[in-house]
Homo-oligomer: A and B are copies of this chain.
Amino acid sequence: MKYKKQKGSKAERELVERFWDRNFAAIRVAGSGVSKYPCPDVLASNGSLSFAVESKSYSGDYVHLTREQILQLLEFSQKFGAVPVVGVRFAKDEWHFFDMAKIRSTKGENFKVTRKIAEEDGKTLDKIIESYRKAQEN
């Protein structure tokens, strides 16, 4: 469990770095998962566009978010004024991002992403930033 958590933190630090590379100020959230308040794993903002990221990185075949985790991400993001996204990374693969439109379209109560779905339906970090930048302009 501890090892898994450390791996998760490492992945989150890499994600934070990628946001900084793209001119976003980004941080890892402390106590995510144990805090009594809803909170994401990573927060990033460039002053006009903010993202709240629930990050999942595993070496297995799929990642899985409970309905409760999704609702908490939504609750936090709505109050904070951030775009809620789920960031998924399998082992050394690239990050794949899913926004709420995609997550809500799943039939089940939980959100499950296989490696195949991540590669086919997920967006890269650049794509997800780009799509919300455009949405702001319109």
Contact = CB atoms under 8 A, between A and B. Distances in A.
Contacts of A82: 45
A29 B12 CA distance: 13
A37 B29 CA distance: 14
Contacts of A39: 25, 27
A92 interface: no
Given A48-B81, A81-B48, A37 B26 contact: yes
A9 B38 CA distance: 18
B30 A29 contact: yes
Interface in A43-102: 43, 45-48, 50, 76, 78-82
Contacts of A47: 78-81
Given A28-B30, A47-B81, 6 more contacts: A23-B79, A24-B79, A25-B38, A25-B79, A27-B35, A27-B40
Q: Which 9 A-B pairs have CB atoms at the shortest separation, nearest pair first?
A: A47-B81, A25-B79, A25-B80, A28-B30, A30-B30, A45-B80, A27-B29, A27-B39, A25-B76
Interface of A: 9, 13, 16-17, 20, 23-32, 35, 37-40, 43, 45-48, 50, 76, 78-82
